[in-house]
Structure 1
Amino acid sequence: MVPIHELPNRLRWDPAFARGGFVLGCYDRVADRVIRVPASPITLAPGEHFSFQLSGADGRTRDIPFHRVREVYKDGAPIWHREP
């Protein structure tokens, strides 16, 4: 399995792979469940290896630790999954 921290780089540098709609399933500690959010746009801070920034529909940018990502979907089909 490909480590989840490689996905943002692949989306950035592989235009063929990046075509399509991506959704991340991230574990929310407060809700105690996986919440699906659109994966666009993802921002990686230079030198950051533990989290990424995700802009929400409300206009807020949130830091998401890579270990909270539990699943990834491309055009509705699962392409990556991690057990809790």
Structure 2
Amino acid sequence: MLPIRDLLNRIRWDEDFARAEFAIGYYDRIEKTIVVTPLKRIDFPGDRPGVFELTDSEGETHTIPLHRIKVVYRNGELIWQRTH
């Protein structure tokens, strides 16, 4: 399986591949479910490569480790899934 960092880097740097709509599903520990959100709503802080940041509807920013990403969709099709 391709590591999630490699897939995220491909989306960032491969212009042809990135011409799609991406969404990631991450495990929310409070809700105990996978939350799917558009990739364009996510920020990747340059000084913290192992996390992403997501701002919720109330304006609060949450920092989420990359290991909690469970699925990635491209144009609605599942292209990556963590097996464990």
TM-score band w.r.t. shorter chain:
0.7 to 0.9
Q: Is the 8 A contact 1:8 1:42 kept in 2?
A: no
Q: For 1:37, what is the secondary structure of its paired residue?
A: strand
Moved segments of 4+, more than 6 Å: none
Partner residue in 2 for 1:37: 37
Percent identity between the two aligned chains: 40
Gaps of 5+ in 2: none
Superposition pairs for residues 1-84 of structure 1, below 5 Å? 1-56=1-56, 58=57, 59-84=59-84
> In the TM superposition, what is the alpha-carbon distance from 1:63 to its structure 2 partner?
1.8
Change (3 A) 1:6 1:33: same
Q: For 1:79, what is the secondary structure of its paired residue?
A: strand
Q: Is the 8 A contact 1:8 1:44 kept in 2?
A: no
Q: For 2:52, what is the secondary structure of its paired residue?
A: strand
String of CA shifts for 1:27-72, please: whole Å, max 9, x gaps: 011111111111114432224231122345x355432211110000
CA distance, structure 1, for counterparts of residue 62 and residue 6 of structure 2: 19
1:72 alignment partner AA:
V
CA distance, structure 1, for counterparts of residue 55 and residue 10 of structure 2: 19
TM-score, normalised by the number of residues in structure 1: 0.82
CA distance, structure 1, for counterparts of residue 73 and residue 20 of structure 2: 10
Residue-pair matches, total: 83
CA distance, structure 2, for counterparts of residue 23 and residue 12 of structure 1: 13
